[in-house]
Structure 1
Amino acid sequence: MRRFRGYTTGIRALVYDRNAAIVSSAYTDFPVYHPSQDRVEQDASEIWSAGLAMIQKALAGAQLQPEDVTAIGITNQRATTVMWNRDTGEPISRAIVWQDTRTSDRAAELLPEWGEKAYSRPGWSLAPIYSSLSIEWILDNVEGAREEAQAGKLAFGTVDSWLIYKLTGGRVHAISASNATVAGCYDLLADEWYEEFLTALDIPMSLFPR
């Protein structure tokens, strides 16, 4: 993915050979939405569709079939929050991009009690970039989301989780360790999701990828 003016605005697929030489590539832009001044959103379905199309185009350019690929790597915007329904595989809202600031007031509200603890465990200063605060916002503002989350019907992930989920036909719900840390709710000392903080936000642990 390419960064432009602080946002991720496009998807590039590359095919490498075993010597790391680029055999083929494909690129396309996709939109960023700004419903209000403090909001930056993207459509996770558009990310997937564009990604799949570019994979297909890059493979065609290299005259390869999917089974010819030995390994896949994903580089992505990191703290962007995607939530989807486990049964349908469809997002329940637009993805909240890492530069979105709608949770600024909530971060300030939590800071006196959680500022030091959050920094000492996830290793990030408590701020709107926390995916956990975006999750809380979605659960509180998307109709029926909290009830579905409590019933174990929803999944959360950053963009890598979303793409892995789609690429595996919904069989794998996972996240890279690096991306997990920027979610603001991963306990680096215990090497697990920061359950104490998530419980305080009333966020079910069932949402989270391995």
Structure 2
Amino acid sequence: MGIELVGFIAVVVLAYLIPGPDFLLVSRYAVQEKRLGLAAALGAQSGLCVHMLVAALGLSAIAAQSAEFFMIVRWLGAAYLVWMGITVLRQGRHHTASSDVQSEKVQSEQVLNGHRRAFANGFLTNLLNPKAIVFFLSVLPQFMDPAGDAVRQILMLGVLDVAIGVVWWWGVVAVMQQVANVLKRPRVRQWWNRITGGLMIGAGALLARHGTG
């Protein structure tokens, strides 16, 4: 039968094209500084690697049988997104057009110390996303050869997923860098913070609501 690579690639590309919490996070960091955006993207893909390894070890199948496990992951993910959104809104509220010197100092600190934070935020956002667990548990197996080695196929398709994501995030960071100068304008940045912060809080609320439904 063989692995259905074409269908798998199509599904993965479609999944990346649909904006989610990862997209909001990487975009925000990419506007601040290119390396921050790349660090957040690397963190997101590292989180995806954890899901891949867990699935390959068979732990996902065990976790899928526990409603409590998914509920905990869902609520943690929702709480983290809401916290991130509130943080973004607070940053936008405290930023003013007259604080150019302070803004430069903050940007300098982000360049020196922000890369690990960007990586960690990207990593946790992906790691606490239950959709990633569901993908490796229920979507990915549909493209595998039942007669083949399950672990090898999960790792191969997982690596392909991560590789596609690397290309995608590189493109996202490049595009956001092109519009960074516009988004860094005080009034535009204020609205950008409001929109992205609000969307993060909304995504967290939807995730929590779905978990209670």
Q: TM over 0.5: same fold? A: no
Q: Which has the higher strand share?
A: 1
Higher helix proportion: 2
User: Over alpha carbons, which structure has the higher Rg?
Assistant: 2
TM-score normalised by the chain length of structure 1 = 0.23
- Higher RCO (C-alpha under 8 Å, 6+ residues apart): 2
TM superposition score normalised by structure 2: 0.23
